[in-house]
Amino acid sequence: MSFEYFKIFFESWLIVYLAMGYFIGFFFGAVPGLTATLAISLLLPLTFGMEVLAALVTCVGIFVGGIYGGGVTGILINIPGAPAAAITVLEGYQLTQQGKADRALSHSSFSSMIGGMIGALFTIFLIQYVSEFSLYFKTPDKFSLILMAIVVSMLINSKDMMKGIIATLLGLMLAAIGIDTFDAVPRMSFGIENIREGVQLLTIVVGTFAIAEIFNQLASIPLRAKDILEKFNANQNKFDFKPRREELKEIGFWSYVRSSVIGFLTGILPGAGAAMAALLAYAVSKGFSKRKNLFGKGSIEGIAAAETANNAMCPGAIIPMLTFGIPGDAVTALILGVFTLHGLVPGPMLMIEQADTVGPMLIAFLITPVLIVISLFLFGRYYIKIPLVNRQLLYPFIAFTAMIGLYAATFSLVQLVHAAIIGFVIFLLSARNYPTVPFLLGFILGPIFENSLRTSMALSGGDLTIFLRSPFSLGLLILTAIMIYFLGIRLPKMLQEQENESNN
Amino acid sequence: MPVIIMLFLFTVAYLVQAIGLPQGDLKNIGPGFYPVLLSVLMLMALAYQFFKERKTPERPQATVNKFHLVLLALLSGLIMMLESLGYFASALVFLLTFSMLLGWQLVEYHKDEAGKKVMIGLPLVAALTITGLDYALFKLVFDFNLP
Residue-by-residue DSSP string for A115-177: HHHHHHHHHHHHHHHHHHHHTT--HHHHHHHHHHHHHHHHHHH-SSHHHHHHHHHHHHHHHT-
Cα distances (angstroms) measured from residue A132 to each of A208, A322, B42, B139: 35, 12, 37, 43
Instruction: Using a CB–CB cutoff of 8 Å, tell me whether B88 touches chain A.
Output: no
Strand pairing report for A186-187 and A178-179: antiparallel
Interface test with A, best of B111, B138, B139 (most A CBs within 10 A): B138
CA distance A190 to chain B (A): 8
Instruction: Using a CB–CB cutoff of 8 Å, tell me whether B115 touches chain A.
Output: no
A432 and B94 within 8 Å at the Cβ level: the answer is no
Instruction: Using a CB–CB cutoff of 8 Å, tell me whether B118 touches chain A.
Output: yes
B134 and A165 within 8 Å at the Cβ level: the answer is no
Which residues of B are less than 8 Å from A450 in CB distance? 34
pLDDT mean across residues, chain A: 87
In angstroms, the CA A374 to CA A368 distance is: 10
Beta bridge partners of A179: A186
Question: Which sign, positive or negative, has the C-alpha torsion A296, A302, A307, A312?
Answer: negative
pLDDT in tens, A421-466: 999 999 999 999 899 889 998 998 999 899 999 999 999 888 889 9
In angstroms, the CA A29 to CA A23 distance is: 10
Q: Mean pLDDT, to the nearest integer, of A67-78?
A: 85
Give the pLDDT confidence score for residue B66 in this predicted structure: 92
Among all residues of chain B, which has the CA nearest to that of A47?
B142
B22 and A183 within 8 Å at the Cβ level: the answer is yes
Q: Which of B7, B75, B127 sits opposite A170 (nearest CB)?
A: B7
Identify the band that residue A95 occupies on the pLDDT scale cut at 50, 70 and 90. Answer: confident
User: Which secondary structure element, helix H or strand E, spans residue A179, and what is its range?
Assistant: strand A178-179
Residue A197 and residue A176 in contact, taking contact as beta carbons nearer than 8 Å: no
Q: Which amino acid is at A330?
A: A
pLDDT in tens, A145-180: 999 989 988 888 888 889 999 999 999 999 999 888
Which residues of B are less than 8 Å from A427 in CB distance? 62, 68
A420 and B75 within 8 Å at the Cβ level: the answer is yes
Give the pLDDT confidence score for residue A409 in this predicted structure: 86
For residue A487, pLDDT over 80 is answered with yes
The answer for residues whose C-beta is within 8 angstroms of residue A92's C-beta and 6 or more apart is A71, A74, A75, A101, A104, A105, A108, A298, A303
Enter the ipTM.
0.93
Between residues 18 and 47 of chain B, which touch chain A (CB distance below 8 Å)? Answer: 18, 21-22, 25-32, 34-35, 38-39, 41-42, 45-46
A401 and B113 within 8 Å at the Cβ level: the answer is no
Which residues of A are less than 8 Å from B58 in CB distance? 432
In angstroms, the CA A120 to CA A114 distance is: 10
Q: Which DSSP string corresponds to A340-375?
A: HHTT---STTHHHHTHHHHHHHHHHHHHHHHHHHHH
Exposure class string for A49-63: b at 16+ Cβ within 10 A, else e: bbebbbbbbbbbbbb
| Global pTM value | 0.88
Q: Which of A219, A400, A413 sits opposite B65 (nearest CB)?
A: A219
CA distance A114 to chain B (A): 34
B61 and A462 within 8 Å at the Cβ level: the answer is no
Question: Which sign, positive or negative, has the C-alpha torsion B79, B81, B86, B87?
Answer: negative
Which residues of A are less than 8 Å from B98 in CB distance? 395-396, 399-400
Among all residues of chain B, which has the CA nearest to that of A415?
B79
Give the pLDDT confidence score for residue A272 in this predicted structure: 73
A219 and B105 within 8 Å at the Cβ level: the answer is no
Q: Which of A399, A404, A432 sits opposite B58 (nearest CB)?
A: A432
Give the pLDDT confidence score for residue A101 in this predicted structure: 84
Residue A468 and residue A477 in contact, taking contact as beta carbons nearer than 8 Å: yes
Interface test with B, best of A170, A177, A227, A404 (most B CBs within 10 A): A404
Which residues of A are less than 8 Å from B41 in CB distance? 165, 169
B46 and A166 within 8 Å at the Cβ level: the answer is yes
pLDDT in tens, A106-127: 999 999 999 999 999 999 999 8
B71 and A218 within 8 Å at the Cβ level: the answer is yes
Lowest model confidence (mean pLDDT) among A29-38, A297-306, A307-316: A29-38
The answer for residues whose C-beta is within 8 angstroms of residue A352's C-beta and 6 or more apart is none
A169 and B41 within 8 Å at the Cβ level: the answer is yes
CA distance A490 to chain B (A): 21
Q: Which of A48, A393, A403 sits opposite B126 (nearest CB)?
A: A393
Q: Which of A218, A220, A408 sits opposite B146 (nearest CB)?
A: A408
Identify the band that residue B19 occupies on the pLDDT scale cut at 50, 70 and 90. Answer: very high
Instruction: Using a CB–CB cutoff of 8 Å, tell me whether B112 touches chain A.
Output: no
A416 and B78 within 8 Å at the Cβ level: the answer is yes
In angstroms, the CA A322 to CA A333 distance is: 11
Between chain A and chain B, how many beta carbons pairs sit less than 8 Å apart? 199
pLDDT in tens, B35-69: 999 999 999 999 999 999 888 888 888 888 899 99
Q: Mean pLDDT, to the nearest integer, of B22-26?
A: 87
Residue A33 CB coordination number (10 Å):
18
Which residues of A are less than 8 Å from B103 in CB distance? 392
Give me the torsion for CA of A233, A237, A240, A246, rounded to 10°.
-50
Give the pLDDT confidence score for residue A232 in this predicted structure: 67
